[in-house]
Amino acid sequence: MQKVAWPLLAVALLAGCSDEEFRTTDIEEIMPPLQFSLTNDDGEPARAEEYRGKTTLVYFGYTQCPDVCPLTLARFASIFNELDDDERDDVQMLLISVDPNRDTPEVLKRYTDAFGPEFTGLTGDKEEIDALTNRYRIAYSFEEPNERGDYIVNHSSAVFAFNDEGQPRFLVRDPHSNQDVLADLRRVIDEG
């Protein structure tokens, strides 16, 4: 009986070790699966199901953003460059515009192409964007336009990570280091 117990105990201990916590914020139990119906940066209809098969990072922002958006996307481009080719083939990042009036598919395409092939822009009408931001608890608001008609959109800087089946895995915020994000990203890619 004892000869059987030791191997079972070892397996149980090893299984427990593999269930480590994320270094970023675990959202598996608190966020819904990836689901949307929008327009991609080629002007084509895009549904969440089309992005299955890869680890998907989702960021809500806009192309006219003066600071947070370009810095966030550049940060993730840098993180993606740390991945090997096979890992990079298994990851994609979606920029969902919270400024659909200015972010046409063409504008989004030019913007996301500057960050790399892993990036895709998505847009929709205000009702579609509002439904999606409500689904993922993203707050955003428009400031009053200046004399030239330009305006700022205040928005969250969080990045959501979904596994290759569209299930929520982790959330990245500013205090999380690139090393922590990279470790968690590799973990989710390896799960796929």
Query: pLDDT digit string (tens) for 71-93?
Result: 999 999 999 999 999 999 999 99
pLDDT at 95 (0 to 100): 99
Domain 24-191, CATH number (from 3.40.30.10, 3.30.70.20, 3.40.50.300, 3.90.420.10)? 3.40.30.10
Low-confidence ranges of the chain (pLDDT < 50): 1-18
Other CB atoms within a 10 A radius of the CB of residue 51 amount to 21
User: How is the chain split into domains, by residue range?
Assistant: 24-191
pLDDT at 1 (0 to 100): 44
Query: pLDDT digit string (tens) for 29-60?
Result: 999 999 999 999 999 999 999 999 999 999 99
pLDDT at 19 (0 to 100): 60
pLDDT at 5 (0 to 100): 42
Which percentage of the chain shows pLDDT scores above 70? Answer: 90
